[in-house]
Amino acid sequence: MSEQCQMPTEWKPEHKLFPYQVGFTCPPHDWDAAPSDFSSISPETVGVHGWMLHVPDYKHQLTQRNQRFEMLEQFVHCMANNGADVCGQVGSNWVHASGLGVQGIHDFCNSMEDKYGVPLHMAGYAMVEALRELNVEKIAINGVYHWPEWWQGTAGFLKEAGFDVLWAGNFADQGWFDTQQDVNDCRWVFDGDLAEKSFTCVAEQAPDADAYIGLGMCNFRTGPNGQPQRILHQTNNLEQLLGKPIVGNDTALYWRIFKSLSIKPTDEYGQLLSRL
């Protein structure tokens, strides 16, 4: 008789562990701080779960993201089955690697919500929505650790979305490292003072920009005992320093998720998140 028993097929409010449940996914071979960061800035009513994409032979190639794009639907399906209210996809390159274009990504995300009843927000497209929320036109891009084909793809995606990209370049272009391999050897974690130095450099290249963009999920050793922290934690300081909005790939994604949940973070983290 026990084998004939079934669990409820729908998640009712009284079944959920948290009133607001968020699912994150990230690229393979990268420990993702997004679930921890988002949880730390959220009210106690928010629960966060992570789902790492599994690609055993992953080499951080854009072609691999294009070939495994269908895994995002698996992620949303899994999270919907487990009671998530919204899904967030970490990694800005997936939108332009898909080849779908700006409208195509918009339609894909809508189709996931139509099919599974859970909104999907992709980091790369969240940046488009965040810049539109801030009503900016001219932007400059801090490509941080991104390989040239990565930040160039994002620049093209943002141009397609209607933004005027005044300047874009990564840490090697800015002169902080001799080669891209030197950047790669840091494995996405950099000295704490590089946050200010790199964004100041970008601002000097494009002083007329309305906002400065930080790509990827870059980490700077600015936390306790040099613990790596993302742009989220640098935003207030950088905005005071430069006098312009700073839109990090992480903050844009968090903002879009909070907006879907109709809640806001527990503290101030720059102009974008303050709009919630």
* Mean pLDDT, rounded, for 198-218: 97
Is 26 part of a structural domain of the chain? yes
For residue 267, name the pLDDT band (cuts at 50, 70, 90). very high
The CATH number for 269's domain is: 3.40.50.12500
Q: State the DSSP string of 77-121.
A: HHHHHTT-SEEEE--THHHHHTT-HHHHHHHHHHHHHHHHSS-EE
Is 224 part of a structural domain of the chain? yes
From residue 175, alpha-carbon distances to 179, 198, 215 in Å are 9, 9, 17
The verdict on pTM exceeding 0.75 is yes
Q: What is the pLDDT of residues 41-75, one digit of tens each?
A: 999 999 999 998 888 888 888 888 888 889 999 99
Contacts of residue 136, Cβ cutoff 8 Å, sequence gap at least 6: 163, 210, 211, 245
Is 217 part of a structural domain of the chain? yes
For residue 132, name the pLDDT band (cuts at 50, 70, 90). very high
What does the chain come to in residues? 276
Is 6 part of a structural domain of the chain? no
Is 9 part of a structural domain of the chain? no
Is 172 part of a structural domain of the chain? yes
Is 5 part of a structural domain of the chain? no
Contacts of residue 152, Cβ cutoff 8 Å, sequence gap at least 6: 168
Asked if pLDDT for residue 133 goes beyond 70, the answer is: yes
> pLDDT over 70 for what percent of the chain?
99
pLDDT of residue 13: 86
pLDDT of residue 2: 61
* Mean pLDDT, rounded, for 207-235: 96
Range of the domain at 56: 19-274
Report which residue type is found at 268: E
Q: What is the mean pLDDT of the chain?
A: 95
Is 7 part of a structural domain of the chain? no
> Structural domain tally of the chain?
1
In contact, 199 and 238? CB cutoff 8 Å: yes
Asked if pLDDT for residue 3 goes beyond 80, the answer is: no
Asked if pLDDT for residue 144 goes beyond 80, the answer is: yes
